[in-house]
A and B are shown apart, each in its own frame.
Chain A
Amino acid sequence: MACNSSTCQSNSGCYKREEEPISSKSSDSNQQSLCVKCKVNEPVSGTSDDGRFCRECFRSNLYGKFKLAVTSNAMITPSDNLLVAFSGGPSSRVVLQFVHEMQQRAQKNFDASKDRSLPVFGVGVTFIDESAYHSVPSCEIDKAIEDIRSIISNLAPPAKQLHVVPIESVFSLDSLDGRERLKTLVDSVSDATGKEDLLLYLRMLALQKVASENGYNRLVLGLCTSRIACHVITATVKGQGYSLPADIQYVDSRWEIPVVLPLRDCLAQELNMLCHLDGLKTLEFSNVPCSGINGLVSSFVKLLQEENPSRECTIVRTAGKLTPFHFNRIPELNDSNVPLATRRRQKRFNLKPSESISSESFCPLCFSPLSKSDLLSSSNIESCQNYDILDAACCSSCRFQIFPKDPSSMEHFLSVLPQPLLARAQNCSNGNRSSLRKQIQDCLLSESEDET
């Protein structure tokens, strides 16, 4: 270990401490125990980087990462209306805080400017209530919602609307029926990991629904480096190597409402630390522990991270070198309302089309882009029956871990699937067939072959 104290003059390694332990101690420890950035304050202990920063610098460093992600990917423009997905955990608490601070600054600028040409972006918050599946006692959920209300009302103006939505709202019927239906749907999946993943997909569906019904045009998630690192490994383990790059970029606009991940470069430890330092209230549910593949992977990654504090970053950086998809960018802004600087910045940082994969077919369940081999294997399943439409359009991972194995329970599974997913399946399978057909067009002899 090199000695980084400036008073040390030895070239070949520092022996000072051993030689004069008492005299050097006072000056040395003073020197070393200052924040590496401002060199004024004492660093806080317990941060991931071993107390290099003082509280203020730690905070501004973290906010800096958030801001860089936002600006360099043009995630937020003045005319936007953001919906923050809030689970109550540290990550979503920090993302809410940072978005709020950014909004406050924009408001300040707006109030100070003469022409008031730049509007302030709007922020809303949503909490998806998953008590329908995870049997959380109703008093606990009511308490949680109460806490969330107080967190949000305690944020300074501009006021933020809160949407508390039960996950069964994806069924778009009255929620009493929906609760039952959700339970039947999830229970019909036998694989433990498949259950968890299906709930995840339904949650995204619910988030999209809230956003779209309430006029939001961006969905902000608090996914941090640590969670993304876990996702990289789980996706690899589930054989989703093709679609993996789609999920781990800053921007994902394959959804109706584009999803942005401004905390992509922040570690979970850092976010926990910030919540602790700033006294940001987080909610803790008596949560069902992850089982199956997801649980195994997250404990594996946690172990690796303990051994080497940069492991999660390395994992995400490695996966970041995989080719992203064409939808991993904010749709080009041609609106003249958008300031030139923003547009220019977006042009510079945004993904170039040549560096991305374009993909037209998606798995109707998890909505991941399908590879050619997925499409080919699905076209082999030749049948006109209803359930095959969905089965054929799915990615191999969903087919394995979510779909019922025997055809008799398939009818039942389909009957409880939410309408949007079914519609997606219908669309996708038609799209898949026609895109396949296009590829083999020149070799087809008769037009009617397709009808058999």
Chain B
Amino acid sequence: MEEAVTKPTKKGGGRLCCICNKRRAALKRPKTLEQICRECFYEVFEEEIHRVIVDNQLFKSGERIAIGASGGKDSTVLACVLAELNRRHNYGLDLFLLSVDEGITGYRDDSLETVKRNEVQYGLPLKIVSYKDLYGWTMDEIVKMIGLKNNCTFCGVFRRQALDRGASLLKVDKVATGHNADDIAETVLLNILRGDIARLSRCTSIVTGEDGPIPRCKPFKYTYEKEIVMYAYFKRLDYFSTECIYSPNAYRGFAREFIKDLERIRPRAILDIIKSGEDFRISTSTKMPEQGTCERCGYISSQKWCKACVLLEGLNRGLPKMGIGRSSRGLNNDPKKDKDMKQRNGTKSIENKQCGSLDF
């Protein structure tokens, strides 16, 4: 497999970087298996992201952009690279860090410290929105009430909305998230496995929610997770790598392991899965859920009430099971949509394991 033709240096030992042919190769690039030096790696890594941004016109000059920052490796590298590219290529963007405080003691409080350091390191203003302020509940309190089962449902639904609310408080034009190529390839596979044709059709879009209040984009759509880790490692970036205490091993789903196995045999498989996802054309006769707005909070929803409102109402009324699984008919009692709803909730229970694991 090692096709990279590299000549040994004159001093003997080690190979030369196959891009610059000057410095000694320090790593095998995960995406292409080329042996290159550290400097060339930074260069190709950053320039690839630059090309993605330019080719897909992700940003316009003068826009305010929020970077969804969790303190983890993806968002930290995203903040670092975007700040750098904005300077280097004069994007003319106003960048912000936007964090969501779920209220998980021993996890989020620590990772927020990392984000606060990043605020200083990259000179990007930081805004933190908390579940406590938005919903009146911290994740700690929610877990105390409902236990460790289904807690990811609450967290996932609330986070999505919290990010949008934070973005509108910052008055930004767009939110950039750190979803990488591995994440997207995994989502494509999961959507095939669970039969979610609606999500399958849109999960590979680089910009989503353009009809919603604030669009989101994924500058790392074609960036391999391994390269992100590599970049963070070599640049000694300050990031937080502990897993959520309520959902340890959440990322070790079947699909994730499968993707890692594929990558080992054929690195390009990740890009190929994304390409397949982009090339899928959904039959016109397939029914798609229609988009509306929540009657209670005005957020986008295909039901009478959005998922967050249903879950919140359940919490506040002391019926935390409301909105989880099939038994949740309590609030969206529109007979016309009943059937639709039943089906939706059925799939929800799988998809809300949104930490990447496939719920069997």
The dominant DSSP class at the B interface is: helix
Asked if B241 lies at the interface with its beta carbon under 8 angstroms from chain A, I say no
Asked whether A355 lies within 8 Å of B272 as measured between CB atoms, the reply is no
Report the Cα distance A191→B280, complex, angstroms: 26
Asked if B276 lies at the interface with its beta carbon under 8 angstroms from chain A, I say yes
Q: Which residues of A contact B273 (CB under 8 A)?
A: 236-237, 239
Chain A residue with Cβ nearest B255: A300
Interface with A: B26-34, B259-267, B296-304, which one? B259-267
Mask for A231-271, Cβ within 8 A of B = 1, else 0?
Answer: 01101111111101100000000000000000000000000
Chain B residue with Cβ nearest A239: B272
Q: Which residues of B contact A235 (CB under 8 A)?
A: 276
Asked whether A317 lies within 8 Å of B195 as measured between CB atoms, the reply is yes
Report the Cα distance A397→B197, complex, angstroms: 24
Asked whether A237 lies within 8 Å of B269 as measured between CB atoms, the reply is yes
Report the Cα distance A132→B197, complex, angstroms: 42
Given contacts A296-B261, A303-B254, A321-B286, contact A241 B277 (CB under 8 A): yes
Asked if B188 lies at the interface with its beta carbon under 8 angstroms from chain A, I say yes
Q: Which residues of A contact B254 (CB under 8 A)?
A: 300, 303-304, 307
Given contacts A237-B272, A244-B276, contact A193 B266 (CB under 8 A): yes
Asked whether B195 lies within 8 Å of A318 as measured between CB atoms, the reply is yes
Report the Cα distance A389→B285, complex, angstroms: 38
Q: 8 Å CB contacts to A: which residues of B234-292?
A: 254, 258, 261-262, 265-266, 268-269, 271-273, 275-286
Report the Cα distance A322→B188, complex, angstroms: 14
Q: Determine how close the nearest CB of chain B comes to the CB of A88; give it in whole angstroms.
A: 29
Q: Which of A244, A308, A354 contacts B360 (CB 8 A)?
A: A308
Q: Which of B261, B271, B284 contacts A239 (CB 8 A)?
A: B271
Q: Which residues of A contact B197 (CB under 8 A)?
A: 318, 321
Asked if B85 lies at the interface with its beta carbon under 8 angstroms from chain A, I say no
Q: Determine how close the nearest CB of chain B comes to the CB of A42; give it in whole angstroms.
A: 30
Q: Which residues of B contact A242 (CB under 8 A)?
A: 276, 279-281
Q: Which residues of B contact A322 (CB under 8 A)?
A: 280-283
Mask for B180-217, Cβ within 8 A of A = 1, else 0?
Answer: 00000000110111111100100000000000000000
Asked if B3 lies at the interface with its beta carbon under 8 angstroms from chain A, I say yes
Q: Determine how close the nearest CB of chain B comes to the CB of A436; give it in whole angstroms.
A: 18
Report the Cα distance A324→B282, complex, angstroms: 9
Q: Which residues of A contact B283 (CB under 8 A)?
A: 321-324, 355
Chain B residue with Cβ nearest A356: B283
Mask for A299-328, Cβ within 8 A of B = 1, else 0?
Answer: 010011001100100110111011110000
Asked if A400 lies at the interface with its beta carbon under 8 angstroms from chain B, I say yes
Asked if A357 lies at the interface with its beta carbon under 8 angstroms from chain B, I say yes
Q: Which residues of B contact A308 (CB under 8 A)?
A: 360
Report the Cα distance A110→B141, complex, angstroms: 76
Report the Cα distance A409→B191, complex, angstroms: 40
Q: Which residues of A contact B282 (CB under 8 A)?
A: 321-323
Given contacts A241-B279, A314-B195, A315-B193, contact A236 B188 (CB under 8 A): yes
Asked if A143 lies at the interface with its beta carbon under 8 angstroms from chain B, I say no
Given contacts A237-B272, A237-B273, A318-B195, contact A296 B3 (CB under 8 A): no
Report the Cα distance A99→B278, complex, angstroms: 39
Asked whether B261 lies within 8 Å of A233 as measured between CB atoms, the reply is no
Chain A residue with Cβ nearest B271: A239
Q: Determine how close the nearest CB of chain A comes to the CB of B259; give it in whole angstroms.
A: 9
Asked if A292 lies at the interface with its beta carbon under 8 angstroms from chain B, I say yes
Q: How large, as a class, is the contact surface on chain A?
A: 35 or more
Q: Which residues of B contact A193 (CB under 8 A)?
A: 265-266
Asked if A371 lies at the interface with its beta carbon under 8 angstroms from chain B, I say yes
Asked whether B280 lies within 8 Å of A241 as measured between CB atoms, the reply is yes
Q: Which residues of B contact A244 (CB under 8 A)?
A: 276, 280
Asked whether A239 lies within 8 Å of B276 as measured between CB atoms, the reply is yes
Q: Which residues of B contact A321 (CB under 8 A)?
A: 197, 282-283, 286
Chain A residue with Cβ nearest B192: A318
Asked whether B360 lies within 8 Å of A371 as measured between CB atoms, the reply is no
Q: Which of B192, B262, B360 contacts A319 (CB 8 A)?
A: B192
Q: Which residues of A contact B284 (CB under 8 A)?
A: 323, 354-355
Report the Cα distance A259→B266, complex, angstroms: 31
Q: Which residues of A contact B265 (CB under 8 A)?
A: 193, 292-293, 296
Q: Which residues of B contact A437 (CB under 8 A)?
A: none
Report the Cα distance A318→B277, complex, angstroms: 13
Q: Determine how close the nearest CB of chain B comes to the CB of A103; give it in whole angstroms.
A: 34
Asked whether A293 lies within 8 Å of B279 as measured between CB atoms, the reply is no
Q: Which of A240, A293, A317 contacts B276 (CB 8 A)?
A: A240
Asked whether B258 lies within 8 Å of A300 as measured between CB atoms, the reply is yes
Chain A residue with Cβ nearest B286: A321
Q: Which of A241, A292, A354 contacts B275 (CB 8 A)?
A: A241
Asked whether B192 lies within 8 Å of A315 as measured between CB atoms, the reply is yes
Asked whether B281 lies within 8 Å of A357 as measured between CB atoms, the reply is yes
Q: Which of A240, A318, A396 contacts B200 (CB 8 A)?
A: A318
Q: Determine how close the nearest CB of chain B comes to the CB of A168; give it in whole angstroms.
A: 28
Asked if A276 lies at the interface with its beta carbon under 8 angstroms from chain B, I say no
Chain A residue with Cβ nearest B258: A300
Chain B residue with Cβ nearest A318: B195
Q: 8 Å CB contacts to B: which residues of A40-79?
A: none
Q: Determine how close the nearest CB of chain B comes to the CB of A180; give it in whole angstroms.
A: 28
Q: Determine how close the nearest CB of chain B comes to the CB of A227; give it in whole angstroms.
A: 16
Q: Which residues of B contact A397 (CB under 8 A)?
A: 272
Asked if A108 lies at the interface with its beta carbon under 8 angstroms from chain B, I say no
Report the Cα distance A105→B268, complex, angstroms: 51
Q: 8 Å CB contacts to A: which residues of B80-110?
A: none
Chain B residue with Cβ nearest A397: B272
Looking at A236, A304, A371, the one whose CB has the most chain B CB atoms below 10 A away is: A236
Q: Determine how close the nearest CB of chain B comes to the CB of A376; give it in whole angstroms.
A: 13
Q: Which residues of A contact B262 (CB under 8 A)?
A: 237, 293, 296
Q: Which residues of A contact B258 (CB under 8 A)?
A: 296, 300
Looking at B272, B278, B284, the one whose CB has the most chain A CB atoms below 10 A away is: B272
Report the Cα distance A318→B200, complex, angstroms: 9
Q: Which residues of B contact A303 (CB under 8 A)?
A: 254
Q: Determine how close the nearest CB of chain A comes to the CB of B205; give it in whole angstroms.
A: 14
Chain B residue with Cβ nearest A236: B276
Q: Which residues of A contact B192 (CB under 8 A)?
A: 232-233, 236, 315, 318-319
Chain B residue with Cβ nearest A245: B281
For this complex, 17 residue pairs linking A to B, each with C-beta atoms less than 8 Å apart, are A233-B189, A237-B273, A239-B271, A239-B272, A241-B276, A242-B276, A242-B280, A244-B276, A293-B262, A296-B262, A303-B254, A318-B192, A318-B200, A322-B280, A324-B283, A354-B284, A373-B279
- Given A236-B273, A242-B279, A397-B272: 8 more A-B contacts, CB < 8 Å: A241-B276, A242-B281, A293-B265, A293-B266, A318-B192, A323-B281, A323-B283, A324-B283
Closest 8 A/B residue pairs (Cβ): A241-B276, A239-B272, A241-B279, A242-B279, A236-B276, A239-B275, A307-B360, A318-B195
Q: Interface residues, chain A, CB within 8 Å of chain B?
A: 191, 193, 232-233, 235-242, 244-245, 292-293, 296, 300, 303-304, 307-308, 311, 314-315, 317-319, 321-324, 354-355, 357, 371, 373, 396-397, 400, 405
